Amino acid sequence: MDEGIGANLKAVVKDLLAKNEDLQTWTTQDTLTGLYNHAYLQDTLSREISRSKRHGHELGMLFVDIDRFKEINDDLGHPAGDKVLKRIAEILRGKHGQGENGFSLRDHDLAARYGGDVFVLVLPETPKGSTAITAERLRSCVEKHDFGPGVPRVTVSIGIAAFPQDGSERDTLISSTNAALHVAKKSGRNRVVTFAAELAPDAPNMSWQERVNIQRINALRSSIVDRAFEFIYQPIIQSKTLNVFGYEALCRPRDKTFQTPTELITAAEHAGRVCDLGRALREAAVMPIKDLPAKFLLFINLHPQELNDPALVEVEPFMQPWLGRVVFEINDSKSIGDQNRLQQTLSMLRRRGFKIALDDLCSGYLGLHSIAHLEPDFVKLDMGLLRGIHENKRAQRLIRHFMEYTEGENIQVIAHGIETDQDHELAVNLGCPLLMQGYLFGKGKPSI
């Protein structure tokens, strides 16, 4: 082949490849923000749902809507609105901070502009609880972000849903996520709402008023403002002396709308107010600590979403006097999906003066490897794991090795759920625990 013809052919091929790349970009990306567009989102979501079905993975989805965006356009003009859209896209790409208050996605997550002022995130291999944590981190990051001179504070409302529980097909999952977003907008904006069955657009015999469930939202708001909680304080006992070592604060909602603490927490999850509720509970829970001898500790439970609340690591003023005496309990939850971030948060809390306990160790997500990785001050073992162990010599040896390890690392073990003398005797014989907690020693009382 003539060299001139060959060179021309190479140039033509190179030009065609460049044009094809430009065409690919044009057909898959949003021209204003540079994120993926609506069409690409639809195709990718279908593929990810198919992949999740094959491998048995969960998948999280977020609809992110800019609050009062029309007012920004009307008051400041469309160039200002475009600037806000571009800045939100930059936040989604992780260009504005990777620290505690920053936001970032994993390489295999997808961020797209759905249309107008709505963005969508698709999080493969992510359970619903972790999706909620990501959503709260994004909401907080946007709320704290400076969008430039003349632009008022920008907030976002976020609806989340998950495959397969909220939709096993693309359109159903999109509908569920959008329904959760609708409730977030109607119930006050600047919040995260997780999908529940009663929010479905085709829920039979239910108005939107019922779906939004104004009564529960109002009851939650009043409970937070009025600190409408009672606490019982369950003693934690030293196994050798049976002396009280500390207490665990267990919440009981005062508002009859919530029959159990779980109902209160679920309402906060659906309304996007987990962190607000957590701060109110902590403030109410620590009040009696002033009446305790200085050697006693107070154990307070944290919701996984609270681990992304900047106020937690900044030390709230009402917590300041009790540093060194408060133990934060981290529940063994699958919604804690990023142990590296969790480790950073717990290390910061420890530097602030708090102690850390891992609850229900080995019964779920937080397995034995978490002890070395997270370096807690306490671990809790449920007696349900120990009952019947006397018939299994290998299991006995495993528990004793575990006790030796925790003793060597200066980690104190609490066996909780001790309800009978037999439970007590079993725990002592196994060398388990240094401390004990359960109905045998006290169901808890309103004051300490």
Mean pLDDT per segment of 10 residues, for the chain of length 448 residues? 59 52 64 92 94 94 95 91 94 71 85 94 91 88 89 93 93 92 86 78 50 70 91 86 88 90 87 87 90 88 84 85 92 62 88 90 56 86 68 74 85 81 75 61 58
pLDDT the model gives residue 154: 95
Q: Which of 211, 226, 255 is the C-terminal boundary of a domain?
A: 211
- Which residue type, as a one-letter code, is found at position 301? N
**Residue 4 domain-assigned (yes or no):** no
Q: Find the farthest-apart pair of alpha carbons in the chain and give their distance in angstroms, rounded.
A: 97
Shared domain check, 376 and 306: yes
Shared domain check, 180 and 300: no
**Residue 1 domain-assigned (yes or no):** no
- The pair of three-digit structure tokens given for residue 267, joined into one six-digit string: 């309402």
Shared domain check, 90 and 140: yes
Shared domain check, 164 and 223: no
Shared domain check, 250 and 206: no
Q: What are phi and psi of 222, to 5 degrees?
A: -65, -40
Shared domain check, 249 and 207: no
**Residue 447 domain-assigned (yes or no):** no
Q: Are 192 and 158 in contact (CB under 8 A)?
A: yes
Q: Which residues pair with 249 in a beta bridge?
A: 233
Shared domain check, 106 and 121: yes
**Residue 409 domain-assigned (yes or no):** yes
Element (H, E) at 246: strand 244-253
Residues in the chain: 448
DSSP code for 234: E
Q: Which of 143, 178, 211 is the C-terminal boundary of a domain?
A: 211
Q: Which residues constitute the domain of residue 177?
A: 29-211
**Which of 229, 307, 305, 312 has its CA nearest to residue 272?**
305
Q: What are phi and psi of 329, to 5 degrees?
A: -95, 125
Q: Which of 195, 211, 227 is the C-terminal boundary of a domain?
A: 211
Shared domain check, 319 and 280: yes
> Cα(first)–Cα(last) distance of the chain, in Å?
94
Torsion of the alpha carbons at 274, 280, 284 and 289, rounded to the nearest 10: 80
Shared domain check, 249 and 176: no
pLDDT the model gives residue 436: 63
